[in-house]
Amino acid sequence: MTNNKPLPSLALAIAPIAVMFGLLVIGYGMLGLRIEALLLISAVFTGVIAYKMGYNWDDIMGAIVEKLAKAMPVILILVSVGGLIASWMVSGTIPFMVYWGLKVISPEYILIAAFFVTSVVSVCTGTSWGSAGTVGVALMGVAAGLDVSLAAAAGAVVSGAYFGDKLSPLSDSTNFAPVVSGTTLYEHIQHMLYTTIPGFIIASIVFFIAGQHGDVANVSEPQKVVDILTGIESLYNLNIILALPPVLILWGAVTKKPVLPLMLTASALGLGLGMAVQGFSLQQGFQAYVDGFNISMLSDNGHTIDGLVPDIAKLLNRGGLFSMMSTILLVFCAFAFAGILSLTGALNVVLGRFLHLIRTTSQLILSTVIATITVVFTTSDGKLALLIPGELFQDAYRKMGLDTKNLSRTLEDAGTIIEPLVPWTAAGIYMASTLDVPTLDYLPWAVQCYTGVIFAIIYGFTGFGIAKAKPIGAEEQTVNMSPADVK
């Protein structure tokens, strides 16, 4: 939305961001209040500021609607994921993957296996959401069956999923970051290895060691695994044909088919397999798709569910379109705040001030990290976290004689893979809902997602891994910095 209103002062621009952070830290972090209400309060406060700046109610509502319109594809995907999971429960696809995971993977290796498997799938497909929503869900079921910490398992899945989302040439964020930074795709990917590979090594070590620890994996209860395997065998007709839905998803991701039609097709295939292989009726399939799958549906088909270990019900009672409604409410509240904040131009003011304080390479990298994380927290939008700092900082990198692939790498280190660690972003909401583990619970275990920031800052101060470029001429400079400012 374009407007001719003057930008707010720095103090006024910081105010809504500070209020939002304060409400979330105190209200959510310390008092355990619902995020939705806190975000709405933040939106009201920001709306008052917008009104004082001269915007009317129609302007404010227009900004919110515009923001939500851009988020609609994400919302539709969230809803479809709920139906996809339910349809794969009906078909037996997820139980089939869990069954073989329990047979093949030992408890002490589940974390490292989850990390490696999702890393490979996400690199091959370029989609973190697809990786977590398919093999990630199955691996969480395996972890539950093996008495492995679900927070640790979710952290491993998220780490692996975003390893590929950060590096794969098929990933939209991997393609978007170099575009907004002024570099090329393969230069960007090559430069990303400086922060991504050390993070991958550290994450691998953490997940391997944690898997050997008794508090993470309880290997003394093999009978429970046997009970789950026996229960799944008694409830489902396990056949290799049940692997067709995830194969379809992986094929569609590799060939870059549209996500929503692909997910709907995979759901339809799951429901069809449920009727053909498992004996469910069309009515049962549709009920599960909308309301969620329930183990009682199996008893309606003549299966005995009495005497099954409780973990089987926890595994199967999932999915459905309605299961994502609370998630969508959170998206609406987050984007209401973000829409009004965008209308006021507050972020441009705050980030623009950063540019006047930069004197050294370390300050530039650190400022990029802070700015990108700030955009993630305030807009709940990973793409904006790449776009806004990318546009604002690009000339600063050039003037300091730094290749812009340093900028594109830092944007991904602080934006793309930080997004799933924030509870109110689309990625954080998706991962928590899909893996059924709260964002803040898996955050400490999502090692791959925060080591990039650490290495980015270290490299900024040491100069290691910082690519140089010829500074642009003074006549081309657009950033208000004097030659004396450059170290």
Predicted local confidence at residue 320, as pLDDT: 87
Predicted local confidence at residue 139, as pLDDT: 83
Contact 211, 108 (CB under 8 A): yes
Q: Which residues of the chain have pLDDT under 70?
A: 1-4, 29, 124-126, 169-170, 172, 213-225, 253, 302, 311, 470-487
Predicted local confidence at residue 295, as pLDDT: 86
Q: What is the DSSP string of 160-202?
A: HHHHHHHH-TT-HHHHHHHHHHT--HHHHHHHHHHHHHHHHHH
Helix (H) or strand (E) holding 214: none
Please list, residue by residue across 299-332, b when 16 or more beta carbons sit within 10 angstroms of its beta carbon and e when fewer do.
Answer: eeeebebeebbebbeebbebbbbebbeebbebbb
> What would the two tokens of residue 393 be?
């900082």
Q: What is the pTM of this model?
A: 0.67
Predicted local confidence at residue 485, as pLDDT: 37
Q: Where are the alpha helices (DSSP H) in 381-468?
A: 382-399, 405-411, 426-435, 439-442, 447-462
Predicted local confidence at residue 219, as pLDDT: 47
Helix (H) or strand (E) holding 119: helix 110-125
Find, among 204, 8, 36, 54, the residue nearest to 119 by Cα: 204
Predicted local confidence at residue 314, as pLDDT: 72
Q: Which residues contact 374 (CB under 8 A, 6 or more apart)?
A: 17, 347, 350, 351
